[in-house]
Amino acid sequence: MNINQLKKEVIEYSKTIGIDKIGFATADPFTELKNRLIRQQELGYQSGFEEPDIEKRVTPALLLPEPRSIISIALAYPSKMKVRVEGKKGERRGFFSRASWGLDYHHILRDRLKKLEEFILAKVPDARLKSMVDTGELSDRAVAVRAGIGWSGKNCAVMTPEYGSYVYLGEMITSIPFVPDSPMEDQCGSCTACIDACPTGALVQGGQINAQRCIAFLTQTKAVIPEELRDKIGNRVYGCDSCQTSCPVNKGKDFHFHEEMEADPEIAKPLLRPLLKMSNREFKNKFGLVAGSWRGKKPIQRNAIIALAHFKDETAVPDLHAVLENETSNVLKETAAWALGKIGSPEAIEALEKAAATETDFEVKNEIEKSILKLKN
């Protein structure tokens, strides 16, 4: 088999199955990334969602014996919704970030990689292949940068000239010695728009994130969100796009190549109050297929409470009171107590006082009393 011919055929085939960009990289160890990962770990800047074994993250040979190349793929996703929400005045909505619009991208990219694997195996039956998307050991971005898919932006994202940073990434380690493509020149120049736009200062410098301060991370945690960061979350119920929407390279980039990626506005911009009353089954039925539901219902409900506080939505006071009265999760109760304090209406104070009289958990009671005290001073 002529490897150059095979590479051409793989590229041609990829275009027919909905892969928007493809690149080829060596399977050499990622030595620069290794130092980077160690440094991030030392600084406490990691999210904890990454594969914990750094050696595995940077050594493709630990994942597939005798690897000879890595194929990187990118699929462009929309940045604007085709259908607008039909909102009534006063109804408050949350916002799922763009990476959670439509069907969970893991399914879509795995489907494309599976098709690509089948194509390659039909041509090279003894090829060894291993594909991954997001949850695999490798850094999808580091692979994409090496394969010339895009450059590494100061917002940390892989920036493609064609689609901006609105691309999902995945890769396939192979035993085939494909000729690698060349990495791309950094095109950020002196721009710092993403760093300036980040609400929490999570981008500590160009290309370096403190994930612990990143809203995309915070919205996916299960614990109480640190108070100083709650105010910065706004109405984001999952993820954050500010370092992408602020980027001049992304201006006007809005691609609708994949039907499955189209957002249902009632899911991507859900009404906040109904979220608080949702049963597990209702949550699964409505949100189960989007990427943003992977941590379950409670983190989204906690974020919805924060969003209601952001809007100072007085109509939500009975719902927040109900959380304090009936909820089993102390995370939700503490957040609701804080939210009532933010809303601060006479009904909110009344709800807090009622809850203070009956609450037995120390942390929740403390949060209720803190809110009452703030309102009375």
Name the residues annotated as catalytic.
134
Residues contacting 280, CB < 8 A, separation 6+: 297
Instruction: Look at residues 229, 252, 268, 10 and name the one whose alpha carbon lies nearest to residue 119.
Output: 10
SS3 content of the chain, % helix, strand, coil (to 5): 50, 10, 40
In three-state secondary structure terms, 208 is strand
Cα 24–Cα 29–Cα 34 angle in degrees, nearest 5 = 120
Which CB, 72 or 152, lies closer to ligand SF4? 152
With contacts defined by CB under 6 A, name the span among 53-61, 76-84, 238-246, 361-369 that binds ligand SF4.
238-246
Please name the residues in contact with 44: beta carbons below 8 A apart, sequence gap of 6 or more. 210, 212
How many secondary structure helices (H) and strands (E) does the chain include? 17, 10
Please identify, using beta-carbon distances, which residue of 247 and 340 lies nearer to ligand B12.
Answer: 247
- The answer to the question of residue 212 lying near ligand SF4 (CB under 6 A) is no
The verdict on 200 binding ligand SF4 (CB under 6 A) reads: yes
Q: Which of 21, 130, 154, 333 binds ligand SF4 (CB under 6 A)?
A: 154
With CB cut-offs between 5 and 8 Å by kind, which of ligand SF4, ligand B12, none does residue 292 bind? none
| Binding positions for ligand B12, rule: CB under 6 A | 32-33, 36-37, 40, 47, 49-50, 97, 99, 133-134, 136, 139-142, 145, 152, 155-158, 165, 167-170, 207-209, 211, 214, 216-217, 220, 239-241, 243
The interface mask with ligand SF4, positions 242-271, x = CB under 6 A, is xx--xxxx----------------------
Query: Shortest distance, CB of residue 78 to ligand SF4, whole angstroms?
Result: 18
Residue 152 as a binder of ligand SF4 (CB under 6 A): the answer is no
With CB cut-offs between 5 and 8 Å by kind, which of ligand B12, ligand SF4, none does residue 37 bind? ligand B12
* In the block, residue with structure tokens 């942390």: 363
Closer residue to ligand B12 in complex, CB, 142/349: 142
Q: Crossing angle, helix 346-358 and helix 362-376, to 10 degrees?
A: 150
Q: Which is nearer to ligand SF4, 119 or 294 (CB)?
A: 294
172 sits in which H/E element: strand 167-174
**Cβ proximity to ligand B12, 141 vs 230, nearer residue:** 141
3-class state of residue 36 by DSSP: helix
Separation between Cα atoms, residue 190 and residue 192, nearest integer Å: 7
CB atoms within 10 A of CB 251: 11
Residue 275 interacts with, from ligand SF4, ligand B12, none (CB under 5-8 Å by kind)? none
Q: How many CA atoms lie within 13 A of 97 on its CB side?
A: 22
Binding residues: 57, 134, 139-141, 152, 155, 158, 169, 188, 191, 194, 198, 214, 220, 222, 240-241, 243, 247, 280-281, 295, 297-298
Question: Which residues are near ligand SF4 by CB under 6 A?
Answer: 153-155, 159, 188, 191-194, 198-200, 202-203, 209, 214-216, 240, 242-243, 246-249
